[in-house]
Each structure stands twice: as C-alpha cells, then as structure tokens.
Structure 1
Amino acid sequence: MRIGIARALLSHGVVLADEPTAKLDPLTAQSVRRALIEVAGQRLVIVATHDEALIQAANLRFTLVLQQQSRKAVAA
C-alpha cells in the first residue's frame, strides 16, 4: 500500500486516493496526510476517506449520502 501511495505522489497527473490512511499506524497516517496536503498545492488530489483530519484539510468537500428508496412491484 505504501508503495502505491508513493507512486501516486510522485506522478505528474491527478492523484486519486481511496482511503489512503486506512489500516496505517497513526504516525504513518500523519505522514501520508502531510504528503497529500503538500501535493494538493501543485496538483489535483481527489480523496475518498473517513479520516476526519484529511477531510478538514480539504478545500472542497463532497459528501455522499445513501438514501434508500422504497420500490414497489408493478404488476404487468
């Protein structure tokens, strides 16, 4: 996982990160957060995360809300 994060941060394109700090120890997660924030100053970084510190660091946030819709069977 760390290798994938390093490759993404070293690339020159858009950084897409899906839960980049999940399953990391606190010190490593903090390092990843700092690196993403630093890179975000130069490139587009899109992150899907539950990490509140990473969410607070974002300058633009989207929240996905799952809503159940009732579905009724229609007789043919």
Structure 2
Amino acid sequence: MRRGFTLIEILVVMAILTAAVALVAPASIRSLDRFDRYLEENRVRFNETKVFFYEFAKDSECRLEDGEVVCE
C-alpha cells in the first residue's frame, strides 16, 4: 500500500484552490468597497443630522470641518 500524496496530486489540488480563489476574490473586494462607501455615507448623514440638531438647540451657525462640528 502506498502512503501519502504524490507531488502531482498536491500540485493539482493547489491549482484548483488557486483558481477558486481567483474567481471569488474580485467579488469579495467589490463587496468590501461597497460596504466602505455605505459606512462613509452613513457617517456623513449622521454628521449632517448632528449639525442640524446642534444648530436647532443652540440657535447658532455650525459647519462641518474634517468630520467635526464647528459652531460659532
């Protein structure tokens, strides 16, 4: 009886795995990019809402600078 795998068998398995990763990786990267855009849009919306409520409560002029609320 033979024990273990031959070099050819290991190379074939590695080639199959590489092909599978090559097919799946671009979709995963696009999905992560979409999620990053979604988070950034939510961050912007939250900051706009924060400015609105701060202006409403304090009756002052506020603006966003580098993601922070600045009021005068």
Tell whether the structures are fold-level matches, with TM greater than 0.5.
Answer: no
More helix by share: 2
Higher relative contact order (CA 8 A, sep 6+): 1
The two structures have a TM-score, normalised by structure 1, of 0.30
The two structures have a TM-score, normalised by structure 2, of 0.32
